[in-house]
Amino acid sequence: MARGRDENVTNNQAVDQIQRSRGPKPRRRRLPDSHHCPPRSSSPLTPETSDVASEVHATSSDPVETRSARRKRQSSSEPKPAKKRVKPARAENLVEQLRKHERFWLADGNVVVELDGIRFRVHQSWLAQHSKRIAALLPDKGKNGGKFEQITLDFRGALKAIDFETLLLLYDNPGNYRHAIEPPTLMSLIRAATSLDFDSDLVWLVKELEALWPSNLEELAANPEPHLDAPEVAALARMCNIDGLLKPAFYDMARMPGFGLDKLEESEQIGRADMLRLIRMREYLSDMWVQAAVREDPAFVCQNLRGAPSSDEGTSTPSQQADEKPELGSIASASVASTCLLVTARREAWVRLVHDSGICTQFRYDPLRGLAALINIEWTDDWCKACKEKRKADWHIMQRSIWEKVGEYLRED
């Protein structure tokens, strides 16, 4: 017993010596009395000192408690895997991820516009001058040029960074756009002007694009090949409400393989309602071309025979006259006889001029230009002059009717 008391005294002295060498530390909570811990000194222990004290005290305790304490110390001394630090979603972190535009980060700019991960710094006065809507959103309507403001503008539609950059380039050097603007640049400028409500710029930009997409039949028929950017123009016309571009753009799509949809980006897709319009439009255009080009109208009657008077002397009807064979030696050209030749002769001429020439298959979904091709054919003397003129006039009427019908498809709900 005396020997045990001596060991306790020795242990307590060791603890006091460690405490004095460590200096005053933060206070730790007292261990339970069941551990028979010695009284603590008035100096608080650091966590390391507390561990040492526990180890020293555990040595004087029972063996089971000693093994338990040793296992705890070993597990606590093993290195723990470092936890990934989760960065808070703060505005300054987001700003760091965005890059400044190389050219349009103006040193004296006082408005920051963020688009597609790119930051532009421009002048409030410039935005407010060209857009009344943006001027109403800016502090002091954009007149306080000395105060830096980073704002978020409520753009109408999805404004792309490339479109905003194109608009800035236009104002930075307008001389580059004095003579002619390429269609892709025009469309980019129109999208930006529409999103930002730059109304004065939008008017002349739309006129420039409409000049490249005529909506009158004479100019339309003069362009034999469809515009490859028709789907993009159609999507732009819908987004920016440019009605003058709808008919020529959708007509060109209707005559393109697959409607040209493979040329569209994901953000420029044609809506489901417009796709149904395109399908119905193409069916209608194909039917009208078949009606005009496959064969001569079965109800055709030569104009010079249409009004011929009949008599009781057995004069044949106009259809009979058209099918009757002329007497031998009396065959003359239509210009001399002033009447059309027989049906069989006209049929052979039609196949040769319309089918064998490739016109019939070339304009399968393009009756407007197909009819123009029929009008321009050098029709042979198998038809009289009056019938040639009458047929051309009918084809002109058919063109106008088809063009009006295309507009009706686009106005459908």
**pLDDT at residue number 157:** 54
Higher pLDDT pick, 236 / 313: 236
Residue 64 and residue 107 in one domain: no
Quick check: is 230 in a domain? yes
Candidate ranges 197-201, 227-231, 375-379; pick with highest mean pLDDT: 375-379
Kind of pairing between the strands at 99-105 and 149-150: unpaired
* Residue 373 structural domain: 293-305+332-411
Q: What is the pLDDT of residue 13?
A: 56
To the nearest 10 degrees (0 to 180), the angle between helices 272-293 and 385-411 is 170
User: What amino acid occupies position 310?
Assistant: S
Backbone angles phi and psi of 403, in degrees to 5: -65, -40
> Does some domain include residue 108?
yes
Whether residues 207 and 277 share a domain: the answer is yes
Helix/strand/coil (H/E/C) assignment for every residue in 300-315: CCCHHHHCCCCCCCCC
Residue 147 has pLDDT above 70, yes or no: no
- Predicted confidence (pLDDT) per residue in 11-34, tens digit: 555 545 545 544 554 454 444 444
Rounded to an integer, what distance in angstroms lies between the CA atom of residue 229 and that of residue 295?
34
Reported confidence tier of residue 60, pLDDT bands at 50, 70, 90 = very low
Mean pLDDT of 329-342: 57
Q: Considering the domain boundaries, does residue 361 fall inside one?
A: yes
Q: State CA 364 to chain mean position distance.
A: 30
Model pLDDT for residues 181-226, shown as the tens digit of each residue:
899 999 999 999 998 889 888 999 999 999 999 888 888 777 777 7
- CATH (domain of 101): 3.30.710
Q: Are residues 179 and 228 in the same domain?
A: no
Q: Count the domains in the chain.
A: 4
Q: How far is CA 151 from the centre of its chain?
A: 25
Separation of alpha carbons 162 and 175, rounded Å: 20
Which amino acid is present at 199? D
Is 263:231 a contact under the CB 8 Å cutoff? yes
Check whether residue 159 and residue 201 sit in a common domain. no
pLDDT band at 44 (very low <50, low <70, confident <90, very high): very low
- Residue where a domain terminates, one of 291, 324, 358: 291
Which 3-state string (H, E, C) describes 55-91? HHHHHCCCHHHHHHHHHHHHHHHCCCCCCCCCCCCCH
Higher pLDDT, 346 or 52: 346
Q: What phi and psi, each to the nearest 5 degrees, are found at residue 22?
A: -80, -25
pLDDT of residue 343: 87
Q: What is the mean pLDDT of the chain?
A: 73
Asked if residue 249 and residue 238 are part of one domain, the reply reads yes
Do residue 40 and residue 99 come from a single domain? no
Same domain, residue pair 150 and 211: no
Share of the chain above pLDDT 90, in %: 34
pLDDT tier at 166, thresholds 50, 70, 90: very high
Residue 227 DSSP symbol = P
- H runs (alpha helix) in 78-160: 91-97, 124-130, 132-137
Helices within 257-342 (DSSP H only): 272-293, 303-306, 318-323, 334-337
Residues in the chain, overall count? 413
In the prediction, which pLDDT does 269 show?
78
- Range 172-179, long-range pairs (CB < 8 A, 24+ positions): 172/104
Residue 324 placed within a domain: no
- 195 and 286 fall within a common domain: yes
Picking from 16, 43, 72, the residue at the C-terminal end of a domain is 72
CA 153 to chain centre: 20
Q: Which two three-digit tokens encode residue 217?
A: 């039949």
Asked if 123 contacts 110 with a C-beta cutoff of 8 angstroms, the reply is: yes
Q: Are residues 265 and 285 in the same domain?
A: yes
Q: What is the pLDDT of residues 94-114, one digit of tens each?
A: 555 678 888 888 888 888 888
Average pLDDT over every residue of 138-164: 63
Identify which of 382, 385, 364, 383 has the alpha carbon closest to the alpha carbon of residue 373.
364
Average pLDDT over residues 120-144: 77
Burial 365-401 (b: 16+ CB within 10 A, else e): bbbbbbbbbbbeeebbbbbbebbbebbbeebeebbee
At 339 the pLDDT is 83
- pLDDT band at 140; cut points 50, 70, 90: low
End-to-end CA distance of the chain: 105
Do 372 and 300 fall into the same domain? yes
Kindly state whether residue 315 falls inside one of the protein's structural domains: no
Boundary (domain end) residue, out of 188, 221, 244: 188
Who wins on pLDDT, 313 or 143? 143
User: What's the CA gap between 3 and 403, in Å, rounded?
Assistant: 118
Burial class (CB in 10 A: 0-12, 13-18, 19+), 278: buried
Q: Where are the beta strands (DSSP E) in 151-215?
A: none
Pairing of strands 99-105, 111-115: unpaired
pLDDT at 265 over 90: no
194 and 275 fall within a common domain = yes
Same domain membership, residue 163 and residue 146: yes
